[in-house]
């Protein structure tokens, strides 16, 4: 019944088959669209399609709003006007009263608001799960106090139940959807949203990602242009999070990119590079990087907020990602194809050469092109056709990565319509490839393997295998044998390093 209610809301807002696109539909589908228009309410007769869909998502609750936030980053696919109309879902939803927020703070922290904050102002931003209030600490620091919406847990649970049912119906009745693994997709989103409803976990994520961003900045990495506000741990509870105030203006503010000294091109590059640096170098990344969660100040510095969703990649996934990106940058389509097969992304019964040919058809028209010259809608359609042709399924472990890449590229395009994603990514990926797959990495890996071999041989020397039918009187190798083993291993290691030294330096 709740799922039918979702459909009813979309129909009432004329957001399921908007009247503006009816003439573009096939003849048989136009009759269905006209029938749906008869049930549109007053909400469906006013405003533009993006405005109507935004209101419908707002009515449906946090899960639908999260989807709207992603759609709002892709003006290149859905149109600037449509994306702008959905933009209010990022941080401009109706807030709940200040008195209610104060009660939530006191209940969560177990102390009066005045015992921690000398001033607690009205909300300055309201999103799907929480809203942010400006406040002042006794030491004069300005902070942002994030408070969960009352009853939001129940609304999220109801939304996820509806999504689970919709995923099950899609698997059963829409064969084309099975390849997209809708059930795994919903469970990945459900897990992320569940974690996002505990502000203590978000505080830990903010602290962790803040350290990661700080490491990049300290070493002068090209991904070191994003920071995280410091966590005020005295102001953290299950439903409350307190962070130092983020400098600059949010990217949702039209004035943000017009601040004196702002370099929009560098800002677009830094969004991409900071994300890739987090994902590749550290295996943990901010997985909700839309404009409402990014503040900027001159010349091209970024501060991220809202750390409820953190994406994580293991060493294997990081390597696959780097090699795939590097393959596109260097136009080595056979290498990209091999990586897909090694990772299991493409079933082994297909041809590596044929898949490389398909990738070339995707890559060549877009590599090196300005963003304004690339039709993302057509590109996504072509990618979908290729994944169907080669029986590729959605990978649950990559869902947050793919979602964030879509958002990040959308933010970069909004800042610079001619942004070159590949040129921005190249320094980060090239550095990772050189460090992890170059001569230095080969020497390091060889030494690690040698170290493990020595440990195994040492264990064998201490505890040699004993046949049950033979009585062994000497249970240890002679001391000279152990010394010889170590000397031989050290000599081998030295020879290996010397042979690779010219390449390393």
Q: Prior bond to 325 cis, omega within 30?
A: no
* Model confidence at 499: pLDDT above 50: no
Residue-wise pLDDT for 338-365, tens only, equals 999 999 999 999 999 999 999 999 888 8
Burial 4-31 (b: 16+ CB within 10 A, else e): eebeebbbbbbbbbbbeebeeeeeeeee
Residue-wise pLDDT for 375-387, tens only, equals 766 777 788 889 8
CB-based burial label for 243 (10 Å; 0-12, 13-18, 19+): buried
Geometric angle at alpha carbon 85, from 95 and 154, rounded to 5°? 40
User: Regarding predicted confidence, which is higher, 230 or 7?
Assistant: 230
DSSP state of 471: -
As a whole number of angstroms, the distance between CA 384 and CA 363 comes to: 14
Q: Which residue is it, tokens 């005295």?
A: 234
Cβ pair 274, 213 in contact under 8 A: yes
Nearest to 101 by CA among 72, 74, 130, 73: 130
Range of weakest confidence among 66-70, 97-101, 390-394, 462-466: 462-466
Active-site residue set: 288
Residue-wise pLDDT for 235-248, tens only, equals 999 999 999 999 99
Residue-wise pLDDT for 29-41, tens only, equals 889 988 988 889 8
As a whole number of angstroms, the distance between CA 382 and CA 385 comes to: 5
CB-based burial label for 316 (10 Å; 0-12, 13-18, 19+): exposed
DSSP state of 420: -
Report the pLDDT value the prediction gives residue 77, as an integer from 0 to 100: 75
Residue 365 C-beta-side C-alpha neighbours within 13 Å: 14
CB-based burial label for 431 (10 Å; 0-12, 13-18, 19+): middle
Residue 444: pLDDT band with limits 50, 70, 90? low
Best mean pLDDT range from 10-24, 47-61, 130-144, 429-443: 130-144
Best mean pLDDT range from 5-14, 81-90, 94-103, 169-178: 94-103
* Model confidence at 28: pLDDT above 90: no
Cβ pair 324, 277 in contact under 8 A: no
* Model confidence at 141: pLDDT above 90: yes
As a whole number of angstroms, the distance between CA 309 and CA 276 comes to: 16
As a whole number of angstroms, the distance between CA 33 and CA 23 comes to: 10
For residue 270 the two structure tokens come to: 């830094």
Q: pTM (2 decimals)?
A: 0.80
Average pLDDT of 270-290?
94
Cβ pair 9, 59 in contact under 8 A: yes
As a whole number of angstroms, the distance between CA 46 and CA 44 comes to: 6
List of long-range contacts for 35-40, beta carbons under 8 Å, 24+ apart: 36/11, 39/11, 39/12, 40/11, 40/12, 40/13, 40/14
Backbone phi, then psi, for 466, in 5-degree steps?
-120, 110
Q: Which residue is it, tokens 């390091």?
A: 444
Helix/strand/coil (H/E/C) assignment for every residue in 245-313: CCCCEECCCCCHHHCCCCCHHHHHHHHHHHHHHHHHHHCEEECCCCHHHEEEECCCEEEECCCCCEEEC
DSSP state of 231: B
Residue-wise pLDDT for 291-308, tens only, equals 999 999 999 999 999 999
* Model confidence at 397: pLDDT above 60: yes
User: Regarding predicted confidence, which is higher, 230 or 494?
Assistant: 230
Range of weakest confidence among 41-50, 137-146, 230-239, 462-471: 462-471
Cβ pair 263, 305 in contact under 8 A: no
Q: What secondary structure does DSSP assign to 360-405, as a single string? A: HHHHTTTTT--GGG--HHHHHHHHHHHHHHTT----GGGHHHHHHH
Q: Which residue is it, tokens 């696109």?
A: 21
Report the pLDDT value the prediction gives residue 280, as an integer from 0 to 100: 93
As a whole number of angstroms, the distance between CA 383 and CA 366 comes to: 13
Sign, CA torsion 415/417/423/425: positive
Residue 465: pLDDT band with limits 50, 70, 90? low
């Amino acid at each position: 019944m709740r799922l039918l209610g979702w459909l009813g809301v979309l129909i009432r807002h004329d957001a399921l088959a908007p009247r503006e696109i009816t003439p573009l539909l096939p003849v048989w589908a136009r009759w269905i669209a006209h029938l749906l228009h008869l049930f549109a309410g007053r909400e469906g007769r006013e405003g533009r399609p993006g405005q109507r869909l935004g209101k419908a998502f707002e009515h449906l609750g946090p899960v639908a709003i999260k989807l709207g936030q992603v759609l709002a980053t892709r003006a290149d696919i859905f149109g600037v006007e449509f994306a702008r109309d959905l933009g209010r879902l990022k941080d401009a939803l109706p807030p709940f009263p200040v008195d209610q927020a104060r009660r939530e703070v006191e209940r969560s922290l177990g102390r009066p608001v005045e015992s921690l904050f000398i001033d607690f102002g009205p909300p300055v931003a309201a999103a799907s799960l929480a809203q942010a209030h400006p406040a002042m600490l006794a030491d004069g620091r300005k902070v942002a106090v994030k408070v969960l919406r009352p009853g939001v847990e129940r609304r999220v649970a109801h939304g996820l139940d509806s999504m689970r049912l919709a995923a099950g119906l899609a698997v059963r009745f829409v064969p084309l959807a099975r390849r997209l693994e809708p059930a795994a997709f919903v469970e990945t989103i459900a897990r992320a949203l569940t974690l996002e409803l505990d502000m203590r976990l978000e505080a830990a994520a903010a602290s962790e990602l803040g350290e990661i961003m700080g490491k990049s900045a300290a070493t002068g990495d090209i991904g070191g242009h994003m920071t995280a506000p410091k966590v005020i741990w005295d102001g953290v509870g299950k439903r409350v999070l307190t962070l130092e105030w983020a400098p600059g203006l949010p990217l949702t503010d039209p004035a943000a990119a017009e601040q004196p000294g702002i370099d929009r091109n560098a800002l677009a590059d830094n969004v991409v590079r900071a994300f890739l640096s987090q994902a590749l170098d550290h295996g943990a990344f901010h997985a909700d990087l839309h404009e409402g969660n990014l503040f900027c100040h001159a010349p091209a510095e970024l501060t991220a907020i809202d750390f409820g969703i953190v994406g994580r990649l293991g060493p294997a996934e990081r390597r696959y990602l780097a090699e795939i990106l590097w393959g596109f940058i260097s136009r080595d389509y056979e290498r990209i194809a091999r990586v897909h097969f090694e990772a299991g992304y493409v079933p082994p019964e297909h041809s590596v050469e044929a898949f490389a040919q398909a990738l070339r058809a995707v890559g060549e028209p877009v590599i090196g092109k300005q963003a304004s010259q690339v039709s993302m809608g057509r590109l996504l359609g072509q990618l979908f056709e290729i994944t169907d042709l080669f029986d590729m399924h959605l990978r649950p472990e990559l869902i947050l990565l793919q979602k964030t890449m879509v958002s990040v590229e959308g933010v970069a395009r909004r800042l610079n319509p001619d942004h070159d994603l590949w040129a921005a990514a190249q320094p980060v990926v090239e550095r990772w490839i050189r460090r992890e797959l170059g001569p230095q990495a080969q020497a390091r890996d060889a030494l690690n393997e040698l170290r493990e071999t020595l440990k195994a041989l040492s264990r064998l020397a201490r505890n040699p295998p004993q046949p049950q039918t033979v009585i062994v009187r000497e249970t240890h190798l002679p001391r000279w044998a152990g010394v010889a083993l170590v000397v031989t291993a050290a000599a081998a290691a030295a020879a290996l390093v010397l042979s690779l030294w010219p390449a390393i330096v």
